[in-house]
Amino acid sequence: MNLMIKREGEDILESERFRKCEGIVHHKGTNVARHSMEVTEYALNLYEKGHYPDTDVRDLVRACLLHDIGMSDGDVRDSVSFLKAYSHPRRSAEIAREEFGANAVQVNAILYHMWPICVIPPSSHIGWLLLRADKHCAWGDVAGVIKGATAFFRKE
Ligand SMILES: [Fe+2]
Ligand SMILES: [Fe+2]
């Protein structure tokens, strides 16, 4: 694990809420906690390569770890996929603010991480970094599922 994740997000990782996310299936082949860790690692990797040098690492780590935490809410989890895409950023932002003291930058990044499915894009570069990392990891998960599901049709 990247040490910056432990330093800036240890309270999140050790929370009951985040642990609950280990049991919530996400993108078919992973779970919310693992996906959130991968998004955080990937975003930090981009930052360490010199993308977005003015980044506040604490804001980045916390927004990434919490961006899908709303999936731990029963109402969000049990709704149909289409609606979940719209409801989980809002619930994630509420939980981030109420249970983890998220500031305005973190809340904005979480709230708009589903752009362009949701109409409004994030307003900070931390939001764009989260969005970029989330799309990268989500597509990787989905590609893995599709590859597995279609293996029968390929001659490998
Ligand atoms: Fe999400
Ligand atoms: Fe995500």
Centre of ligand 2 to C-alpha 36, Å, is 6
- 3-148: CATH class: mainly alpha
Residue 155 is predicted with a pLDDT of 67
Centre of ligand 1 to C-alpha 5, Å, is 19
Question: What is the Cα–Cα distance from 102 to 66, expressed in whole angstroms?
Answer: 9
Per-residue pLDDT tens digits for 59-106: 999 999 999 999 998 887 777 777 888 889 999 999 999 999 999 999
Residue 45 is predicted with a pLDDT of 94
**Residue 98: Cβ within 10 Å count:** 9
Question: What is the Cα–Cα distance from 113 to 133, expressed in whole angstroms?
Answer: 10
- pTM (predicted TM-score): 0.89
Centre of ligand 1 to C-alpha 150, Å, is 25
